[in-house]
Amino acid sequence: MTILTVGVVGAGQMGNGIAHVFALSGYDVLLNDVAPESLDRALGMIGKNLDRQLHRGKISAEERAAALGRIRTTLTIADLGQTDLIIEAATERETVKQAIFDSLLPHLKPETILATNTSSISITRLASRTDRPEKFIGVHFMNPVPVMQLVELIRGIATGEETYRTLLGVIERLGKTPASAEDFPAFIVNRILIPMINEAVYTLYEGVGNVQSIDMAMKLGANHPMGPLELADFIGLDTCLAIMNVLYDGLADTKYRPCPLLTKYVEAGWLGRKTGRGFYDYRGETPVPTR
């Protein structure tokens, strides 16, 4: 299977990063979202991130211009049907992802590969709702996409060997490193990372330490580049909670029970950096712990 054109569904933080790295690697990209302002924001963010790479000497001015020239946008999801590979990068809710694939199916070429950037949801289950489970695969990029080296590649039970091999080649062309994972809840990275974050929230909830001491302890005591609560704010507390619920529901083990404090923050709409408040308040010049 030869991949030349790539459709990306969702122009948020992950979607615009995915479009960025594919365009920079020579693929023609069609970026879709339901909101025109999201597409405008995405193009602005891609331009800024390419500028950052240019100023650091990682790309040339010609490469920057060529990458931007390879990205087109559309509000009509049917337009993606003629691309060779479609990557869904919408919010981490299974009903949303299913609706996206349902709307794509009538418009697809027979050879089009479908992929999802889900960080936790069953690839097998999502694939079973389509007409091509053998051409369906999980391709989980890390955030921020232009910077992070790893991509998890997850085969569902029906994913064909040719589909898997094709995506291995695509990831290598992007200059990234694939890690193959089995299709179990949250795969590898989030199976390990998100319960650690949840345990940090329990440590806060139980009064063992405050936000600042917990993050400092893990940065200086375990040599982590970011503290777990700071990282949770960066990921989005709603995403962390969604992944914990997938683990709890999918593995039926009480060790994956989401911390009630994490649930409370999400109920308050304090989702982290993207809303201005989470475990830190970002509305001033310097982030301030909220507990």
Looking up residue 199, the CATH number of its domain turns out to be: 1.10.1040.10
Burial profile 123-151: b = 16 or more Cβ within 10 angstroms, e = fewer: bbebbeebebbebbbbbbbbbebbeeeeb
Domain match, 24 and 140 both: yes
Q: Does 122 participate in catalysis according to the annotation?
A: no
Which residues contact residue 67 at a Cβ distance below 8 angstroms, ignoring those fewer than 6 apart?
20, 23, 24, 46, 50, 59
Domain match, 131 and 33 both: yes
Domain match, 11 and 78 both: yes
**pTM (2 d.p.):** 0.90
Q: What is the pLDDT of residue 17?
A: 97
Domain match, 219 and 148 both: no
Q: Does 140 participate in catalysis according to the annotation?
A: yes
DSSP H helical ranges for the chain? 13-24, 36-55, 61-69, 94-104, 123-128, 161-173, 189-205, 211-221, 228-235, 237-251, 260-268
> Considering the domain boundaries, does residue 271 fall inside one?
yes
Q: What is the pLDDT of residue 1?
A: 80
Containing H/E element for 113? strand 113-116
Single residue among 155, 180, 205 that ends a domain in this structure: 180
Domain match, 93 and 161 both: yes
Q: Which of 38, 120, 122, 152 is catalytic?
A: 152
Of 253, 230, 252, 232, which Cα lies nearest the Cα of 241? 232
Distance, CA of 17 to CA of 75 (rounded, Å): 18
> Considering the domain boundaries, does residue 147 fall inside one?
yes
Residue set of the binding site for NAD(+): 10-15, 33, 92, 97, 119, 143, 274
- For residue 184 the two structure tokens come to 């179990």
Q: Does 119 participate in catalysis according to the annotation?
A: yes
Q: Which residue has the tokens 């559309």?
A: 74
Single residue among 148, 180, 212 that ends a domain in this structure: 180
Distance, CA of 278 to CA of 265 (rounded, Å): 7
Name residues of the chain where pLDDT drops below 50: none
Q: Which of 38, 140, 198, 230 is catalytic?
A: 140
Single residue among 180, 207, 228 that ends a domain in this structure: 180
- Cis before 144? omega within 30: yes
CA–CA distance from 255 to each of 165, 194, 213 (Å)? 35, 12, 24
Domain match, 151 and 218 both: no
CA–CA distance from 73 to each of 28, 79, 151 (Å)? 11, 10, 24
> Considering the domain boundaries, does residue 188 fall inside one?
no
Residue set of the binding site: 10-15, 33, 92, 97, 119, 143, 274
85 within 8 A of 6, measured Cβ to Cβ: yes
Q: Does 152 participate in catalysis according to the annotation?
A: yes
Domain match, 167 and 216 both: no
User: Which strands sit side by side in the sheet containing 136-141, from one edge to the other?
Assistant: 71-74, 28-32, 5-9, 85-88, 113-116, 136-141, 150-155, 177-181
Q: What is the CATH number of the domain that holds 143?
A: 3.40.50.720
Domain match, 81 and 165 both: yes
> Considering the domain boundaries, does residue 186 fall inside one?
no
Q: Which of 119, 120, 122, 198 is catalytic?
A: 119
Domain match, 98 and 222 both: no
Structural domain count, the chain: 2
Classify residue 35 as exposed, middle or buried by CB count within 10 Å of its CB (0-12, 13-18, 19+): exposed
Domain match, 174 and 221 both: no
Domain match, 8 and 151 both: yes
> Considering the domain boundaries, does residue 185 fall inside one?
no
> Considering the domain boundaries, does residue 98 fall inside one?
yes
For 70, the domain range is 3-180
Distance, CA of 17 to CA of 47 (rounded, Å): 11
Domain match, 41 and 167 both: yes
> Considering the domain boundaries, does residue 88 fall inside one?
yes
